[in-house]
């Protein structure tokens, strides 16, 4: 979604701003722009790719500026609606992430005051109100505070002034971080854009404002109270984010899964005791014994990982568990048991729906543990406890390696929980042994992924694709469907295999492709029934099965995956679905890493 980058220092700002924007590109956007202070505030913006905007960018001198990638919410994708927005006297420029709910009322107020508005956005109001206050003699900080007292909604906001050598920032519900270099400072909505310049950063909290000059940042509460801000260290793993020899980040990230899962589990498995230790999820045994239930919350891919986590927790720890769509969580005024355990699962750590569920749970007196990838992200900080999944940077909009590591972290957690309750040491050891083998099995599958091309032939021209799975393979079916739909734009439906005959079977006609996830997991026989029912109506079955399983004969295209214990099969069965989605999108000529309308980090509810 929208991204912000800012620079205050001694180097050519416009070049650094464009570079920063390119680092934010993976988040999804439809237009971009920069403004640099150079005698005047020189601004340039356009719709389309950042590279196109940058190629027609005039040479802008100046060593202080702010920049933005926009993902349209208020107003169409036009040059006028792109950020930055400038006040009519040319003295104030702003970039804004988030949504201002009362913008219509504020726009009307500005019009009544005779201010001409130049865009349809909710963001533009900021520069005009600030500029009016400056004209009346207020300081930049007073003007910022004043406009923030008028707006309702969410903001990550940067303000650049013609007459001052600093940038003012404000945050409420939309992330903003400030990085410190040598006599230069960087501002961004995403640590990924700053990592190449510095590993020292301050993350603003909701309700805070900051003044950033070329040497330091001064953070305060919106009412002016000073805040003790200390620099965090951005972890090393956030460095390796180049494409290398891969044509797309998605393919690179699919292939990184063996290594990233290794990262997630290594040092956390305790083979001798048949358990695992997740430092951030240590719960006292007596509290564990009394846990009434566990709730797991996430969106999209994170939701599918949560659904798998739910099953793992129930199977291994025998604690009732339930997963929730984060965007629905607050809708029905949920009853929260303060004794229950809550897990918020998120790659970006910025998903507004998940964050809002976290806050609701905390408001009602319960703790939430984060299961998050991005270090220092909002959800990680809001939870204050939990585990990092250690996928490293995921840049393709379609999530792959983060799914694997979410499931990996939840498996570790379930094992730890299980061993603190009823799971025997022998059973724990066999689970730990199998987990340890997974990275190698992922690697070996990816070296020889089976007839993916044949599967692509079946799905790429079809009207829709049905994905089926049963038990722990049902969320894998959902994940496979989501991936294909996201990047190949083919309507996909995922159903638990047994539910197929209760409705989706109506869709099946001659040659309809049906992807079936059917590991040898004890519930396979019922999946077989669904396969027969589809085949009887002419469907073509793309079967994902374990190596050596005779079930392979039944598929029109059969893709073998290495065998493992049933509860860990999602970590292998998801791989062919990722490759099918990738290859199909590629064959259809789509932008695999940046699918239309989608954003990597969804910071609006």
Binding residues for ligand F6R (CB under 6 A) = 299-302, 346-348, 351, 354, 398-399, 482, 486, 601-602
- Burial (CB < 10 A; 0-12, 13-18, 19+), residue 552, is middle
User: Between residues 27 and 195, which has the closer beta carbon with respect to ligand F6R?
Assistant: 27
User: Between residues 103 and 301, which has the closer beta carbon with respect to ligand F6R?
Assistant: 301
- 188 Cα distance to chain centroid: 16
User: Between residues 30 and 486, which has the closer beta carbon with respect to ligand F6R?
Assistant: 486
Task: Tell the residue number behind the tokens 């009207």, with chain if given.
Answer: 463
| Nearest in space to 414 (alpha carbons), one of 399, 395, 388, 435 | 435
Contact 170, 222 (CB under 8 A): yes
Nearest approach, Cβ of 486 to ligand F6R (angstroms)? 6
Distance, in Å, from the CA atom of 593 to the CA atom of 396, rounded to the nearest integer, reads 5
HEC assignment per residue over 494-522? EEEHHHHHHCHHHHCCCCCEEEEECCCCC
Contact 167, 66 (CB under 8 A): yes
- 337 Cα distance to chain centroid: 28
User: Between residues 31 and 578, which has the closer beta carbon with respect to ligand F6R?
Assistant: 578
Q: Which residues contact 124 (CB under 8 A, 6 or more apart)?
A: 85, 94, 107, 117, 118
Active site residue 138: no
Structure tokens that stand for 225 in this block: 């109270």
Nearest approach, Cβ of 348 to ligand F6R (angstroms)? 3
Q: How many CB atoms lie within 10 A of CB 4?
A: 28
User: Between residues 172 and 301, which has the closer beta carbon with respect to ligand F6R?
Assistant: 301
For ligand F6R, the nearest residue by Cβ is 300
Structure tokens that stand for 453 in this block: 């091309």
Nearest approach, Cβ of 482 to ligand F6R (angstroms)? 6
Nearest approach, Cβ of 27 to ligand F6R (angstroms)? 10
Nearest approach, Cβ of 584 to ligand F6R (angstroms)? 15
| Nearest in space to 387 (alpha carbons), one of 437, 343, 421 | 343
Active site residue 2: yes
| Nearest in space to 408 (alpha carbons), one of 572, 291, 252 | 572
Nearest approach, Cβ of 301 to ligand F6R (angstroms)? 3
Structure tokens that stand for 510 in this block: 């001659």
Nearest approach, Cβ of 299 to ligand F6R (angstroms)? 4
Contact 520, 562 (CB under 8 A): no
Q: Which of 91, 252, 441, 600 is catalytic?
A: 600
User: Between residues 347 and 564, which has the closer beta carbon with respect to ligand F6R?
Assistant: 347
Task: Tell the residue number behind the tokens 């940042």, with chain if given.
Answer: 217
DSSP 319-349: --EEEEEHHHHTTT-----TTSEEEEEESSS
Q: Which of 2, 127, 492, 534 is catalytic?
A: 2
User: Between residues 275 and 373, which has the closer beta carbon with respect to ligand F6R?
Assistant: 373
User: Between residues 509 and 591, which has the closer beta carbon with respect to ligand F6R?
Assistant: 591
Contact 5, 17 (CB under 8 A): yes
Distance, in Å, from the CA atom of 86 to the CA atom of 92, rounded to the nearest integer, reads 6
Contact 174, 156 (CB under 8 A): yes
Nearest approach, Cβ of 509 to ligand F6R (angstroms)? 29
Structure tokens that stand for 377 in this block: 């992200």
Active site residues: 2, 600
């Amino acid at each position: 979604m929208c991204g912000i980058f800012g620079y205050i220092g001694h180097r050519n700002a416009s070049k650094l701003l464009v570079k920063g924007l390119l680092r934010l590109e993976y988040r999804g956007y439809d237009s971009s722009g920069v403004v640099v202070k150079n005698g005047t505030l020189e601004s340039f913006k356009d719709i389309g790719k950042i590279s196109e905007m940058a190629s027609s960018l005039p040479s802008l001198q100046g060593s202080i500026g702010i920049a933005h990638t926009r993902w349209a919410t208020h107003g169409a994708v036009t040059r006028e609606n792109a950020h930055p927005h400038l006040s009519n006297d040319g003295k104030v420029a702003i970039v804004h992430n988030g949504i201002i709910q009362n913008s219509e009322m504020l726009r009307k107020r500005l019009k009544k005051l005779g201010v001409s508005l130049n865009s349809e956005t909710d963001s533009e109001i900021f520069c005009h109100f600030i500029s009016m206050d400056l004209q009346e003699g207020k300081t930049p900080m007073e003007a910022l505070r004043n406009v923030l007292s008028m707006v309702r909604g969410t903001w990550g906001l940067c303000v650049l002034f013609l007459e001052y050598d600093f940038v003012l920032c404000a945050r409420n519900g939309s992330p903003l971080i400030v990085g410190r270099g040598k006599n230069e400072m960087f501002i961004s909505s995403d640590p990924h854009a700053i990592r190449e310049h510095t590993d020292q950063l301050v993350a603003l909290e909701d309700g805070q404002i900051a003044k950033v000059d070329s040497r330091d940042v001064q953070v305060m509460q919106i009412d002016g109270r000073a805040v003790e801000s200390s620099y965090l260290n951005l972890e090393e793993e956030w460095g390796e984010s180049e494409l290398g020899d891969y044509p797309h980040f998605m393919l690179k990230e699919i292939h990184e899964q063996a290594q990233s899962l290794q990262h997630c589990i290594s040092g956390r498995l305790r083979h001798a005791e048949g358990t695992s230790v997740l430092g951030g999820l240590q719960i006292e045994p007596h509290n564990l014994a009394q846990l009434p239930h566990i709730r797991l919350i996430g969106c999209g891919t994170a939701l599918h990982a949560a659904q798998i986590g739910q099953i793992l927790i129930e199977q291994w720890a025998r604690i009732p568990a339930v997963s929730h769509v984060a965007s629905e969580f607050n809708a029905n005024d949920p009853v929260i048991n303060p004794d229950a355990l809550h897990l918020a699962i998120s790659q970006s750590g910025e998903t507004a729906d998940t964050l809002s569920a976290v806050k609701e749970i905390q408001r009602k007196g319960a703790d939430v543990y984060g299961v998050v990838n991005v270090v220092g992200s909002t959800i990680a900080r809001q939870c204050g406890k939990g585990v990092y999944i250690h996928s490293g940077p995921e840049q393709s909009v379609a999530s792959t390696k983060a799914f694997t590591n979410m499931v990996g972290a939840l498996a570790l957690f379930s094992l730890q929980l299980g061993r603190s309750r009823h799971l025997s040491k022998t059973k724990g050891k066999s689970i730990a042994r199998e987990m340890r083998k997974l990275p190698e099995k992922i690697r070996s599958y990816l070296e020889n992924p089976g007839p993916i091309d044949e599967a692509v032939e079946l799905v790429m021209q079809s009207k829709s694709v049905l994905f089926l799975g049963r038990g722990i393979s049902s969320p894998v079916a959902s994940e496979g469907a989501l991936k294909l739909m996201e990047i190949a734009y083919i309507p996909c439906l995922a159903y638990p295999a047994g539910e197929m005959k209760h409705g989706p079977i109506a869709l099946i006609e001659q040659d309809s492709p049906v992807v079936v996830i059917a590991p040898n997991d004890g519930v396979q026989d019922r999946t077989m029934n669904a396969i027969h029912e589809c085949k009887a109506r002419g469907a073509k079955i793309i079967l994902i099965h374990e190596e050596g399983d005779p079930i392979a004969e039944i598929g029109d295209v059969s893709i073998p995956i290495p065998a493992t214990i049933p509860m860990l099969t999602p970590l292998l069965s998801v791989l062919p679905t990722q490759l099918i989605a990738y290859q199909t999108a590629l064959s259809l000529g789509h932008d695999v890493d940046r699918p239309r309308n989608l954003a990597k980090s969804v910071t609006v509810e």
